[in-house]
Amino acid sequence: MRTAVHGMPRLGEHRALKWALEGFWAGRLGAEELEVQGAAIRRHNWENLAEAGIDFIPSNEFSLYDHVLDAAVAVGAVPARFTPDGRPFDLACYFAMARGGDLGAGPVEPLDLTKWFDTNYHHLVPEIGPATTFRPDPTKARAELSESAALGIATVPVLLGPFSLLAKSSGAEPGFSPMSRLDDLTGTYCDLLGQLSGQGTSWVRLDEPALVEDHSGEELEALRRAYLRLASLPARPKIAVSTYFGHAGQAIELLRDLPVEGVGLDFCRGGANLRLLDESGGLGTKVLFAGVVDGRNVWANDLSESLSLLDQLGAFCDEVVVSTSCSLMHVPASLRAETGLDPEIRPWLVFAEEKLAELAVLGRAGSEGRGAVAEAVEANQEVLEGRRRSPLAADPAVRRAVAALPADPRRDPPQQRAVAQQTRLRLPALPTTTIGSFPQTARIRAARAAWRAGRASDDDYQELLRSEIDEAIALQEKLGLDVVVHGEPERDDMVRYFAAQLTGFALPEEGWVQSYGSRCVRPPVLYGEVKRPAPMTVEWSRYAQSLTTRPVKGMLTGPVTMLRWSFVRDDQPEAETAAQLALALRGETQDLQAAGIAVIQIDEPALREGLPLRAADQPAYLAWATRAFRVVSAAAVEDTQIHTHMCYARLADIVAALDDLDVDVVSLEAARSKMGLLDPLGSVSYRGGVGPGVYDVHSPRVPSTSEMEGLLRRALGVVAPSRLWVNPDCGLKTRDPEQVRAALTHMVAAARHVRAELDRADPALF
């Protein structure tokens, strides 16, 4: 039985890609040196895959920033602002598409950024319009084929398929559907496949993950026409159409009938694919790339169960290739560096490198029989049984406390709360605030590293943190922000900070995963029952509030985000895990309130991310997810104002759930969309506060006061002045302090100017 991998982690050892990118952007590294670092990471991955005996080794899945951006470049979908005056497309143009910048004709704004399906990876959103001219550019794919061939390693080029590329694009003009360009784009893919075939590759994988979402019959018919054209090319490689992140649904029969040689299906998050294969009569003579090794979680595979599934799948196709469910870019690279993990928990985990070993065992069993891997399977079953029996995974007291929570926790009516909160807070119209974090400076990072290494005492470290809070509060008062934050200098990560203080979490030290570009996160591993042994944020919030008469926001990470941004346990329903997290955080809300904190922000940027990809599954998810939020927030009395924050959330998908959050103010990303993200608010009953971001913190560009004023005026077309807040898109952790100072200065000025305009126009509005 042959084996396949969708893709590998891109960061390299010790986050080499991150440091190379940031060095290049800062001017410390040249383009050639950056390319050399990328080549080194690719070589490392290919050699690891070859050593593990993987048969289908991918190429063209590595990216210097984002694979969707790469796909747009490969088909020529580069908006004109990124090649001003006919400028040749180069790395500066490429990174301007991702981050914005100045290409010689003035500042250009980057492409929009959003979540890749229901993962915590962010992708750039291509802009497709009726005038977009598609041109094939196989430079990157062909270069990587040559690179791998020079190493003696045959690889399979990976392209994001034309249907999914358009599904993840936005219209360059209002109301335009990118999918209407599928026929035109297919011609470009025909050219790409022809050029790759000319380089001698025998297979090409076209990724169509959008097929695990709901689509109309008309859209699926357009997909069928596209692949009939691709398959009819006189000289082409074999084509494998791969889906992942869910089941194929009604597209299964289309995949069965397409004249392609291979189909990839996810059997980890798409368990229904087995039933769908049975009901549709299977795939005939096609090769099935069976995704049975989970590319999105870190728990050891049940090898016995996977072998039984592979046996069943053999009846539905000509050949089964055992595969990862999706790219391994969603998990850390290797467990080798994790020497500090609890020895009881460590055997339960597998990262990317260890997943290759699982594939090898499954492939060998398929080729030589189960007897050849009996020892490995037996050892695997012992690990799984040890996890099931571990007292770390079950606490009856936590279960009883969760069962005792109210079925539908709610606060007093929103209108009543609004009056009480304004009486207490006395905020002006268009109040200004930030999302929470301030820049994590080199001084903070160095002090934290010294403290963790034992080179600095607790007292010294806490004194430095207090000085950082002093500076953050003083800056915000000087700039004139209305609701201030303490800046979170004590937090290196909004999830790990809380996970470190709760039971049931393990914290891998080198478990880095790419979020986008050079941004990396280290997801905790949520393995057991969650409890809060002691308050986690109260002392820092109390200290900050002692420095100012302005309200200081208490800052919590919400239960759904804690769950989605961790590697979550797979041995109980996610709703149960979310309820445990909510119960722990509820105690923090109570303690912050008792300490005199009048505004508490419960961040839930992952609420939309967790939305199931199929509409039929979404109501059940939103029911338990919003209830978990209300468990935390319902501890607040009526004059405590509850905020939440959602970034890159595609508000339209969850706008109807805002009432179920029972929140007083929601802040969200809106700058890149020019406030277009707010449009759905006009059609729902939510009447709480709204803080659309007026500047993009993921770009180093500092927008002008007039630019922010323009965004606020657009927001006022949807949100009443009495409801509108003014804030950045997201936290300021990754930005330079001088950028932050300048941007916040402009933001406060913009709010004051627009506030004055409104007051002159109609003082009764306020």
Contact 521/512 with Cβ under 8 angstroms? yes
Interstrand relation of 112-115 and 122-125 (parallel, antiparallel or unpaired): antiparallel
Please choose, from the candidates 231, 179, 183, 225, the residue with its C-alpha nearest in 3D space to the C-alpha of residue 206: 231
Number of CB atoms found within 10 A of residue 232's CB: 10
Per annotation, catalytic residue among 44, 698, 746, 753:
698
Burial tier of 417 (Cβ tally within 10 Å: 0-12, 13-18, 19+)? buried
**CA–CA gap between residue 557 and residue 629 (Å, rounded):** 10
**CA–CA gap between residue 488 and residue 645 (Å, rounded):** 16
Helices 182-197 and 217-231: angle between axes, nearest 10 degrees:
30
Strands (E), 647-765: 665-668, 689-692
Compute CA 305 distance to the chain's CA centroid, rounded to the nearest angstrom.
30
**CA distances for 209 relative to 270, 280, 311, 757, angstroms:** 12, 20, 25, 48
What are 291's strand-pairing partners?
Answer: 266, 323
**CA–CA gap between residue 339 and residue 480 (Å, rounded):** 47
**CA distances for 459 relative to 171, 451, 454, 456, 471, angstroms:** 54, 10, 12, 8, 19
**CA distances for 701 relative to 27, 151, 750, angstroms:** 16, 41, 17
CA atoms in the 13 A half-sphere facing the CB of 166: 24
* Helix (H), strand (E) at residue 542: helix 538-545
Contact 313/323 with Cβ under 8 angstroms? no
3-class DSSP assignment, residue 303: helix
| Known catalytic residue at 123 | no
* Catalytic residue IDs: 698
